[in-house]
Chain A
Amino acid sequence: MPSPSGAPAISLAGLGKKFRLTHDRNWTLKATLLAGHRTRYEEFWALRDVSFDIPHGSTFGIIGGNGSGKSTLLKVLAGILRADEGTATANGRLSALLELGAGFHPELTGRENIYLNGAILGFTARDIRQRFDDIVGFAELDQFIDEPVRNYSSGMYVRLGFSVAIHVEPEILLVDEVLAVGDHTFQRRCLERFDRLRDEGRTIVVVSHDLDMIGWLCERTAWINHGSLAAIGPSGEVIQKFVDGGDGAGLPAPGTPGAGLLSLRGLGPDDLVRSVDLLDPNGQPLPAATSGGPVTFRVRYDAARAGETVIVALGLYRADGTHVTSINSGAAAAAAGSDGVVEVDYHLPALPVQPGTYELSVALHDTTMKKVFERHTHLVRFSVEPGGGDHQTGLVALGGTWQARAGGA
């Protein structure tokens, strides 16, 4: 897309958006007339004084904790919400992927819904006819296109929604978390399609919790914290600041027990697993693991209640869901402490993974591995920071050494 007179694709100037928090959501005409005025409400600024530009032809990430205002920002950009202060200007045809298949009617067929959804996204019937086969092909729904979409599986639904939206060929594409749905194959194809759009010079703005994906997909990133811009710049730097910063999304301050581990789901009093910790060789809590550095994962569980010898299984995943490895403790029987709790450490002299965000699953089995006491998938999240060594990319940190010498005999 040629940028008209070098103007940025999106320009935000002093953007502010406030919401009304009504105490009594149940408005009635009578209440309004009696009160003589609108129902009382409190104002809450979801965004305040946000200014930045997104250049044409770039991929741009927006990150932040829950409730930070990043999705509100995207909705203001998409024109769904109207700014209360400042301006948000988009230069170019814009399409927003906030929810896939939002405009689908369950009783209509896939074919009818393609035309309907296309029209909602601003397409004429002729535009759709020209792209119809591509849309159906990308969604892999050739056999089912004349079925009502209520009979579709959720995967089919999402594929069709994505396919229509992507074929609208926007100059600016806004994407909100939509890749969290769908299977891995489909996610990969979506990312490939984003690559292609980027190569064509289109602007892509992605809001996501998936820091790995943002880091991989986006050149630049903005971190929105409590409704204002906390940082903006190259993605790697901003993501690092976000991970370090602990913006209230649940990252505990460094130095406290369990530092560096973000609980993705809570452990209840009924759970056998009591805690999972990330420790250095001296048994001190680590704020983050280091690629190629030593690390110990410590799992504490209630052996008294388990009643038999337990095998601890750890599953390591990247934040994008890629399975890195799974390991079992073997029958690491140990005498329980006075409180009935057993600690199991898994020690790694050199953590062989690349820097990034990782998630740990924990499961407790019996010694035959046939019975599962508990399985906590994606229990905690932690970050792995770059080690001192040479620059590497990919999945694993091999930790090898280079040696050069004169060749020949």
Chain B
Amino acid sequence: MVALLHPDLLINLTLRDLRSQYKRSALGWTWSVLNPLVAVVVYSAVFSLFLRIQPTVGDPSGLDSYAVFLLVTLLPWQFFVTSLTGATRAITSNSSLITKIYFPRWVLPTSAVLARFITLLVEMAVLLVVIALWEGHIAFQWIPVVLALMVLQLLFTVGLALMISAANVYFRDIQHFLNVAMQPWMFLTPILYPLNLVPSDRELFGISYRTLYQLNPMVSWAKAYRNVLYDLRFPSAERWLGIVIAAGVVLALGFRVFNRLEPRMAEEV
């Protein structure tokens, strides 16, 4: 069973992605810190200072900080975006490998996601330490819950990455579509603002905007991350159920789609 997962191949390809990422750049790994840092400064200025969006006060933590409110969801979101954009080209950019050597192809998009997941782990660890020092906001006791959430998000992302990477071999439009889709998707997820700003008293086709909005699976993750790291409480049972089902379904679907598209990959890539 373990052998079926090709751990050595996954580890080596993940290391390849991590090692080659910042090769020959002067700042190297500093870039992975600079990226969220710049984002948090810009978003804080625009949304908190100019547009005066009020973050919800943490319950029961009592925390009221837009930067923390933003970061606990922004880091997992950025992992999601970079994973998908990276995985889209995981098959097509490795065509020389695919047409010359046989090995299970699913490890390519999966390792692309894993490499970003390692980055996310480091970023989240740094975040926990920084908010403990800066805001006196201690969230360390919630680490096992956050890890569970992150692993579920990893499975969800791998499922989506498998579908997208395989489909992109046949339709190169996918990679462009993805670039277009990620920006609106971010704005339709409660990352920059709290969920309660989405109107529940107005309706479209007889369904409230809030309900429609929650069809986006990323809403559950954003809420759950915020529950644990900002509010310091355990997410509701329904939230967990939604997350587990979404991860399971997307992962299973991802492998199904990938296995169907795999046989002709070496010819089409």
Contact = CB atoms under 8 A, between A and B. Distances in A.
Given A107-B23, A108-B20, A116-B13, A102 B171 contact: no
A32 B11 contact: no
Contacts of A82: 263-264
Interface residues of A, number: 33
A286 B171 CA distance: 55
Interface residues of B, number: 29
Nearest to A19: B267
Contacts of A125: 8, 11-12
Interface string A76-95: 00111110000000000000
Given A28-B171, A108-B16, A79 B24 contact: no
Contacts of B170: 27
A332 B23 CA distance: 62
B20 A120 contact: no
B238 interface: no
Contact of A107 (B12, B24, B102, B263): B24
A27 B97 contact: no
A105 B172 CA distance: 24
Contacts of B174: 29
B263 A122 contact: no
B103 interface: yes
B43 to A, nearest CB: 32
A298 interface: no
A112 B172 CA distance: 31
B100 A99 contact: yes
A151 interface: no
Given A29-B173, A105-B20, A125-B8, A120 B267 contact: no
Nearest to B22: A107
A108 B171 contact: no
B97 A96 contact: no
B216 interface: no
Contact of A120 (B15, B103, B177): B103
A98 B101 contact: yes
B57 interface: no
B16 A81 contact: no
Nearest to B9: A119
24 contacts: A32-B171, A75-B266, A80-B100, A80-B266, A82-B263, A99-B100, A107-B23, A107-B24, A108-B16, A108-B19, A108-B20, A112-B16, A116-B15, A116-B16, A118-B12, A119-B8, A119-B9, A119-B11, A119-B12, A119-B13, A120-B12, A120-B101, A120-B103, A124-B8
Interface of B: 8-9, 11-13, 15-16, 19-20, 23-24, 96-103, 170-174, 177, 263-264, 266-267
Given A32-B171, A82-B263, 19 more contacts: A20-B267, A27-B171, A75-B99, A79-B102, A80-B98, A80-B100, A96-B101, A99-B96, A105-B16, A107-B24, A112-B16, A115-B12, A116-B16, A118-B12, A120-B9, A120-B12, A124-B8, A125-B8, A125-B11
